[in-house]
Structure 1
């Protein structure tokens, strides 16, 4: 039979009829406990027996139907249906056979059937628990131990008080007599322990099942007490409890299982209070031995002591967890390298200080950014850079003393909060900090001089909340860095407007990248020996929906600072290679040059992205040139070199862009796996009029050729400069004299008008 949803299964007419019959039988069983009705049933034993058989058989049938029709938790309900079937079979056999025998045998086959219910019940609870709790923590296991031990302790009191070894009989009779209370004691522990292991959740299915099975266990205990006391009456209230237990179990079976997202553990307070309450109850049970008429069963004492021991261990574990959480909270607010408060702690202190400032009192915030720290870090290594940061933190801490709170905000940036500091005092403290930093640091016999830029903002003059103050201080720090002032005080609205403009541009750029607003313009590169255009440089523009075409000097620094260069570069690469594919389809085998930033070369996944893009657009690697600046030496040069080597092995040509403006070292030219040098326009533009520029260009062309590289000159703006470069055997040129950067369609038209395109001979490429 195909599995149905719970709703469709419950909608079947015969199932609704069965539930209706169940309600009738439940009401009849309750009425049977009323003395007048019970007296009538004593004279009509057949009716009483049929009623009892019908209750057990219908309950088993309804759970079987649930397991057959609904897939969710099927295994658990098959087990429960099997257990109830044995229970019902035992009841039917008892009523039909055993009660008519004289003397009645003990144990009988009915006892075996009743006892068979328990392993099925244990299995059903286990499967339901496993489906709802895949991973159980140590504290939850302890909660389960406490709950199971406490429940079993109280159950053992009910089942074992006053019971002696003689009352169990001998042989098989003893085994069966012991099995009943032991099974119920274990079941009581399993039920409450499983609730604890489920994190005390209150899911309907789970709650109803545990409640029904719990009522059944209570009814068994009452039956045992009544039998031992000789007061048991058929169709009494104990039978009503059994019937109610069956009804609740059936109701649990036909509840719609909640999804994992809907299953929520109980509140943390419940998870703390319930284990404590159970341990307290176990302790009271042990103490009750002093005033009880019968001594507490030994098993009950052991179980209660187990619950208390589990509670003690749980408490110790909780204390340890609290200590770990406290340590984690402290570590999460402390900078690992310097031991100073980190950005999170800094913001907490600042927010609290501002909220407690009523009425507002002057409070200053300073942002300290070390100048040229990356150069120090990359030149001398990260180990020495970390030592320097620790020494900087120590010196700043000594300089600030009790004047404020110092924190490391990240990288080479520090923050200071100064209480009761007006602008004059705040600037004075900032100057003292800067003076302290400017004293040389002795590191491994190297005296390093460190400078810094400090921006200061004061509450309430420059902002009423923490975000405004930090923004103003950050803007002032940029002013100090750009103007080489050292210390700058926020000026209010103007700085804030500039900061907001930067943030707005950055957010618009993020959106623009998502919307594909980048566009490429192409500037031709001419091969001087043949006079033909052999390639183009792809120059990125931002086609802003409101501001129009935005040039890269506006947004590339922001993208670099915000970590967006990876996304931006991959988009540029995609656009350039798509255009290269289209040109190649039209017979224009142009080489396309794309610029990489220094941060791109720290990404070891870049070669894989490039390879995927070349394959996707079916462009050969030799048709792609990648240009990098000398700034790579200011970062992790070893990693950048590894990335460049992998790109070159793919067949992509590499060029050093803006040569002569950066670190320009013959040592790195010898080590870097590059094919071309691209001389900066500052030297090329005036090479026909300035002897110094001419000497630099001519010698650089010779240097490139001697190193087996090609020379590309950019910034060619006159025919005279072009002639000089041709005389010096420069390989490729580009500049406004040839063409400004143009959109792809206009560049294609420009190329067609001049008829200066030719496929590059193989000897030119090498």
Structure 2
């Protein structure tokens, strides 16, 4: 994205409104005066003597240019309130002003007699052309390409060559004419006018929101005026002829140009996508090629020549210039294509945030070393508690931590050691040596990254865990998982227990896939009671799995595997269907008791969960108010998270929502405000420490009071003895769940629920 700060820090930047006004109050009388001046030139040219027409036309066109250029320059000088200093617009105003000054000088010369060609006034006017070209190239534009100003100038010059060639071979030079200073000057003026017209036209095509379009007819009128004056610049006596048509067009051109220059602005770069701007640049390039080809073809067909006169030699020179421009344009395009290819290759193998090689680069390098006789080790490093700190600091703070960690790791990169970022907060180091060498390096990496994180966020106690394996990312990942389970901030090597853990993880994944296929993961119900009365109010559905090969497997082990592999969606659908069907068959809903089902954040983010719930409620005729969907507080939903929409749809359906295991993870109390929940379930770790930790008792008491003020019921989990139940009642909790009131029981054994009473000490009903 090119941003040309045209003499002012804010010029051309997003949000710069310096050129955003539709105009200026002085433009209205200027446009009116220009139109009246042009009309006067036309009337005098048709009705009045030539001398009067010449004098009026020169004064009208000169003063029109002086007023237009002066207004543009004044509005760009920074002295007008609300308009900053802008170099490119100031230069354009000066260019127009110079042209008008030249016309005024010509008008003064005309008072003394006839005009020669070229005259001093022509030289003054000619100074405005290069200034105008430079200013237009420097004007700020929205462009995602490299060197947009140079490419714009080359395209405009190519178009100018084609148009000038056409006029040279048809109008400016006749058959058999010799090359004179006048013809050379005419050709140069024509080329300059066409170049300026090409720049203005291409700027409008490349940046359709720039609002420079009024300048296009203005520049076209100016170019036509010059061409009209070139057809018969002098009579047979060498006396210069002034044409009222030219002077009318000049007079009208300058206010239009001034209107375009004052309105011009660079489009907001965020308003259009990169693809839109690229498409506009392609259209501009296509227009350039088509117009240039058409004008060259027309020049060849219409401007026949003997091959020795001025028409032929000038045409040959223009062909040579056009060929050079095309060659330079192609060389620049080839260079830019090469740069783009290198940049895309670098982006494909580099992490944009840290600048480190990415996972693809690491895997490619590992593939190269696969048959190497030299031993290699892969170290996988993960930032501990990064999600919590990132939630606290925000995305910017999290990015700074990642950059700090990358900088610390980069210190260990050598010719043989490759450091890469392979995940959100996960890095990998490929180093020569065996597992022992890798473990020694891992300790150094862990210390260096931990120190860097501490410098970035003092007091956060952030650390890093490292897993060491052989030339296999899976091995180091398994070792990293073992390091996490061992308490974090440590190094684990892929040997013995780690290998066994990985083997069990792979077997567990395979067996779970089979279990979901044959439906061997079942659900049971655990009672939930009213703490004040001891009456049964509902059940929570819990998943249970006993595998033929692995034996009983805890949900704490197989649920994370299901979530990591994506199997949790299919598993969740099965468990939801079984729970509602079996609970309905056991008469739970008929007795007015509720059933709570757990939902993974992944399930909520996958379309179809709400429709599945609606289908089962209708199929079984279950009142929606008797179904509770439990989510963990670690769900971390944002306002635009699909899970948030799913929760809102479930609530609209009539299903109640509960936050499960509150107090084990993020404890984001703000969720109680953001999420449409009706139930808060306090984790058993807090329940069982009520009698031993006074702070826990105070915290739970405060949470219960706050929840009640929000209209949220509180369920205490993990109540195992009557003393814990008494403490839960003392803090005002509404309901309780735990072994004191009943262990998880198969739905087929839950048959007697008429009085909804659960005796202290156990039993289901």
Task: Tell me the TM-score normalized by structure 2.
Answer: 0.49
Task: Tell me the TM-score normalized by structure 1.
Answer: 0.49
* Structure with the larger helix share: 1
* Structure with higher RCO (Cα < 8 A, 6+ apart): 2
